[in-house]
């Protein structure tokens, strides 16, 4: 592009009529076109970066990089609904491309949904506040909390399911207010972000359990088959843990199905916090869960299982009236390249170990030992 400009400007005909072309605005128009071309190149580059990401967190990181690289805002904050059927939100704050704690206190973005259903574009925060603040106390509280940060722009992340989240963008550090063309650029960028998030949500719905957010049984089976093949290639050992809530029927019968759902929800959170990034926590169905532990031998897997069991034993599930202490029983099986097994074989063996835990007192981990008797961890 720069070489083409130099060739154009050095043409004898251009030099001959330079003053005329300058007076009628040809050169300024060329500058404007070059600026727009660079902006579209930046937009397409940003879109490619965003669509290449494979998780919501990665999409957020790529979006932050694009916005920060263009405008260098004082901060960016994502307020995001990780589960579209829940009101709960998570918050990620960034300054200078890095994650920071922005101390933002907001737990619900639903009050913004009607506005952005009608107005689907980035909006100046001050204008939005004037339009939305009324006698609704909930909205007043939300804006009071947002005022602490002092955002300049508020950008919706929208899709067919409604409002996925909002992005708060602080004032630019080096230059003035956001111009109308910059807001248009952000709107175009966010259309790519929303589509990438929508694609990811659709994929997540196909592999995750709706109630707990853990992977579903079908995804576990696929990953378990992949891990069996990997152990044969690498010679490494992997492990599978199956988990069952002890006397779960009592929660449903004595306290109601909503109480039972709450137990499953808190158990899923505890499982997530107890596993590593590469582990595969899933829900079989009902009150039964599993964790695939890639590249993990039996000794380490037993440590992971026991750590989880003790975490559940310390877990408090809020309910009125208070619920009995939740405990779990676990079954563990390990496998390597020397064993000719299928995913069904491994699940069956882990279930046998789990059944042994149930039969010998519950609230314990048992290990499948092949031809040897199943061993309790305690």
What three-state secondary structure class fits 279? coil
Using CB atoms within 10 A of its CB, is residue 123 exposed (0-12), middle (13-18) or buried (19+)?
A: buried
Measured between alpha carbons, how far is 106 from 147 in angstroms, rounded to an integer?
Answer: 11
Exactly one of 287, 288, 306, 339 is catalytic; name it.
287
- Tokens matching residue 7: 């060739």
CA 231 to chain CA centroid, nearest Å: 29
- Fill in the DSSP letter of residue 112: G
Q: What is the dihedral of CA 315, 319, 323, 329, to 10 degrees?
A: -40
**287 belongs to the catalytic site:** yes
Half-sphere exposure (Cβ direction) of 192: Cα atoms closer than 13 Å = 22
Nearest partner of 245 among 350, 363, 91, 127, judged by Cα: 363
**Which secondary structure element, helix H or strand E, spans residue 80, and what is its range?**
strand 76-80
Positions annotated as catalytic residues are: 287
């Amino acid at each position: 592009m720069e070489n083409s400009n130099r060739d154009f400007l050095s043409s004898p005909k251009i030099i001959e009529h330079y003053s005329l072309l300058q007076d009628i605005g040809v050169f300024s128009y060329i500058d404007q076109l070059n600026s727009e071309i660079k902006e579209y190149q930046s937009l397409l580059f940003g879109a490619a970066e965003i669509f290449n990401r494979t998780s919501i967190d990665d999409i957020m990181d790529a979006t932050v990089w694009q916005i920060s690289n263009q405008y260098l805002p004082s901060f960016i904050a994502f307020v995001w609904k990780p589960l579209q059927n829940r009101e709960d939100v998570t918050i990620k704050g960034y300054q200078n491309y890095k994650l920071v704690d922005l101390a933002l206190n907001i737990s619900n973005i639903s009050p913004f949904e009607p506005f952005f259903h009608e107005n689907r574009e980035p909006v100046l925060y001050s204008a939005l506040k004037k339009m939305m603040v009324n006698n609704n106390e909930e909205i007043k509280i939300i804006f009071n909390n947002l005022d602490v940060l002092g955002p300049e722009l508020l950008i919706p992340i929208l899709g067919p399911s409604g409002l996925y989240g909002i992005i708060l963008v602080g004032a630019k550090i080096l230059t003035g207010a956001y111009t109308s063309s910059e807001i248009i650029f952000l709107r175009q960028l966010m259309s790519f972000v929303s589509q990438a998030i929508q694609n990811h949500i659709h994929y997540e719905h196909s592999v995750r359990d709706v109630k707990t957010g853990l992977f579903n049984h079908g995804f576990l089976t696929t990953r378990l088959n992949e891990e069996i093949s990997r152990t044969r290639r690498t010679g490494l050992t992997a492990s599978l843990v199956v988990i069952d809530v002890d006397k779960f029927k009592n929660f449903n019968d004595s306290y109601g199905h909503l109480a039972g759902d709450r137990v499953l929800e808190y158990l899923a959170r505890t499982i997530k916090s107890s596993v590593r990034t590469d582990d595969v926590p899933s829900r079989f169905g009902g009150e039964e869960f599993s964790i695939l532990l890639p590249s993990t031998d039996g000794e380490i897997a037993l440590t992971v299982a026991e750590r989880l069991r003790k975490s559940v034993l310390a877990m408090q599930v809020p309910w009125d009236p208070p619920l009995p202490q939740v405990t779990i029983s676990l079954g563990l099986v390990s496998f390597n390249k020397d064993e000719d097994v299928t995913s069904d074989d491994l699940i069956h063996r882990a279930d046998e170990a789990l059944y042994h835990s149930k039969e010998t007192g519950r609230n314990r981990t048992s290990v499948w030992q092949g031809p040897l008797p199943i061993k309790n961890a305690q």
